[in-house]
Amino acid sequence: MEYVATITLDHTDDSGDADALLDAFLAAHAQASPIVGEDLEAATIDVTFAVEAQDGYEAFELARTVFAAATAHTQFARPVVGVTVEAADMREPQAA
């Protein structure tokens, strides 16, 4: 089953952070279809990506592993402020 994970990080005002995080994910786990976003008001940056798992617990562990692997060989280090994992079929469709 496909799950969607979002990891939210504390964001300093470095505008290159989003690009660095996306580049790290694309280099290590492009198949996870990562999307990186910034919320400058909240001072957060997040990465949303897909994992295949049997249940939510396994999805959480896989998301942690994918995130660690994607950022392991980079200088990108920010405190994690939130993590969500949900079944992909439970997400509401987004307007285009």
Residues in Cβ contact with 60 at an 8 Å cutoff, skipping those fewer than 6 apart: 5, 83, 85
DSSP state of 72: T
pLDDT at 80 over 60: yes
Give me the amino acid identity at 53. A
Output the pTM of the full model: 0.85
List Cα–Cα distances, 28 to 65, 72, 85, in angstroms. 11, 10, 20
Mind listing the pLDDT tens digit for each residue in 6-55?
Answer: 999 888 766 678 888 898 889 888 999 999 999 888 889 999 999 999 99
Q: Domains for the chain: give ranges and CATH numbers.
A: 2-88 (3.30.70.120)
